[in-house]
Amino acid sequence: MDFVTRRLLKSDIPAIIELTKKTWGGHDHLPLIIGSWLTNRQCHPMVLELKGEVVAVANLKAIDNELTGWMEGLRVHPKVREKGLAKYMTNQIVETASEIGFKRIRLVTATENPAPRKLALSVGMNIIDKYSIFWKRYGRGIKWIKDDESISRIDRSLVLGFIKSNPELFPTNSLVHHWDVFEANQENISLISEEATFFISNSVHGRGLSWGFKHDTRQGSEWCFSVYASSPDVFESTLHFHLKQAREHDLKDMLCIHQPEFNESYSKVKWLKRRGHEIGLLLFERVL
Ligand X SMILES: CC(C)(COP(=O)(O)OP(=O)(O)OC[C@H]1O[C@@H](n2cnc3c(N)ncnc32)[C@H](O)[C@@H]1OP(=O)(O)O)[C@@H](O)C(=O)NCCC(=O)NCCS
Q: 115 or 169: whose CB is closer to ligand X?
A: 115
Which residue lies nearer to ligand X by CB, 122 or 173? 122
Residue 239 burial (CB count, 10 A): 26
Could you tell me if 192 and 175 are in contact, meaning their C-beta atoms sit under 8 angstroms apart?
yes
Can you give the binding site for ligand X, defined by CB under 6 A?
A: 23, 74-76, 81-87, 109, 113-116, 118-119, 122
Using the minimum distance from each CB to ligand X, give the nearer residue, 91 or 230. 91
Q: How near is the Cβ of 137 to ligand X at its closest, in Å?
A: 24
C-beta of 75 vs 205, nearer to ligand X: 75
| 3-class state of residue 203 by DSSP | strand
CB of 25 to ligand X, least distance (A): 11
Determine which helix (DSSP H) or strand (DSSP E) holds 254, and give its type and residue range: strand 253-258
Q: Which is nearer to ligand X, 84 or 124 (CB)?
A: 84
Task: Report the C-alpha gap between 239 and 145 in whole angstroms.
Answer: 11
Q: 73 or 206: whose CB is closer to ligand X?
A: 73
* Cβ partners under 8 Å of residue 56, min gap 6: 19, 47, 48, 50, 74, 75, 76, 77, 80, 85, 86, 89
Nearest-approach distance from CB 263 to ligand X, in angstroms: 21
Closer residue to ligand X, CB minimum distance, 109 or 237: 109
Position of minimal CB gap to ligand X:
86
Nearest approach in angstroms of CB 1 to ligand X is 11
Kindly state the smallest distance separating residue 117's Cβ from ligand X, in Å: 8
Q: How far is the CB of 87 from ligand X (least distance, A)?
A: 4
Q: What count of other Cβ atoms lies within 10 Å of the Cβ of residue 49?
A: 16
24 vs 144 by CB, closer to ligand X: 24
Contact 187, 175 (CB under 8 A): no
In Å, the largest CA–CA distance within the chain is 64
What's the min distance (Å) between Cβ of 44 and ligand X?
Answer: 17
Q: How far is CA 72 from CA 59, 239, 284, in A?
A: 5, 28, 12
Query: At closest approach, how far in Å is the CB of 109 from ligand X?
Result: 4
Nearest to 285 by CA among 193, 133, 160, 171: 171
Q: How many CA atoms lie within 13 A of 176 on its CB side?
A: 32
β pairing state of 53-63 and 206-217:
unpaired
